[in-house]
Structure 1
Amino acid sequence: MTPQRVTLITLGVADLDRARSFYAALGWAPAESLDKVAFYQMNGLVLGLFGTSDLASDQGRPNATLGTGAMTLAQNFMTEAEVDGAYATALAAGATALKAPEKVFWGGYSGYFSDPDGHVWELAMNPFWPLSPDGSLTLPDTP
């Protein structure tokens, strides 16, 4: 049986220096930065930035053209004001606005942006999913 967990998410980026600069403008600092990859320590997992051609080679597909895939990365916050602040910071850092934060059908508050490589991020406040003081999320028990 395979454990139900994710320990590392790696994003393929067209220009690693540009990606490092973007995430630095969000206030993120790499825990480890090598010539071809940067790693950011998160709550219980690591986010990696890896040049797309180097990532394709690492995957054993040196001639592959990698895209961004159909997925969304998300950050949850404790308040709507925190969502608004993070959204403003992302736009100031060079993100592309996709949807400004607003109240949403499921009872929360969220907005979307994409980073310079097109990776989509959701910023959300979900009143049904309380966050730990360190910002980590554990789904509440359901009846």
Structure 2
Amino acid sequence: MTPQRVTLITLGVADLSVARAFYAALGWTVTAEQPGVAFYQMDGMGLGLFGLEDLAKDQGRAGAALGTGAITLAQNMADRAAVDAAWDRAMQAGAVALKAPEEVFWGGYSGYYADPDGHVWELAHNPFWPLDDAGRLTIPKT
């Protein structure tokens, strides 16, 4: 059986220095580096920023034109004020606003932005999915 978890998310980036500067402006700190890739330690998992050409080669698809795909990375926050604060910081860091935070159909509050490479992030407060003191999400069973 394959474990039900994700341990590392890798984002392909056109310019590693631009991507690193954006995430630094969000307050993120690089934990480890290798040529062409930067890694960030998150709670129980990691995020990697990997140059697009090198990522394609690493995937066995040298020369392939990699896109951003149909994916959203989400950060759930404890309340609406935290969503708004994170949104403001992302905008100041140079994010592209896709949808400003607002009340949404499922009863929460969320907004979307894109990083310099078009990777989409959602900032959300979901009053139905509790966060522990460390900010870890629990999806209640239905």
Smaller-chain TM-score bracket: over 0.9
- 2:128 paired residue number: 128
Distance in 2 (alpha carbons) for counterparts of 1:32 and 1:66? 24
Q: Give aligned pairs, total.
A: 142
Q: Is it true that 1:39 corresponds to 2:56 in the alignment?
A: no
- 1:50 paired residue number: 50
Partner SS, residue 87 of structure 2: helix
Contiguous gaps of at least 5 residues in structure 2? none
Q: Is it true that 1:81 corresponds to 2:78 in the alignment?
A: no
Contiguous gaps of at least 5 residues in structure 1? none
TM-score under structure 1 length normalisation: 0.97
Partner SS, residue 74 of structure 1: strand
TM-score under structure 2 length normalisation: 0.97
Identity value in percent: 70
- 2:24 paired residue number: 24
Partner SS, residue 39 of structure 1: strand
Question: Which 4+ stretches in 1 moved above 2 angstroms?
Answer: none
Deviations 1:30-61, CA, capped at 9 Å, x for gaps: 11122211111112111110000000000111
RMSD of equivalent CA atoms: 0.8
Pairwise CA distance, 1:75: 0.1
Partner SS, residue 55 of structure 1: helix
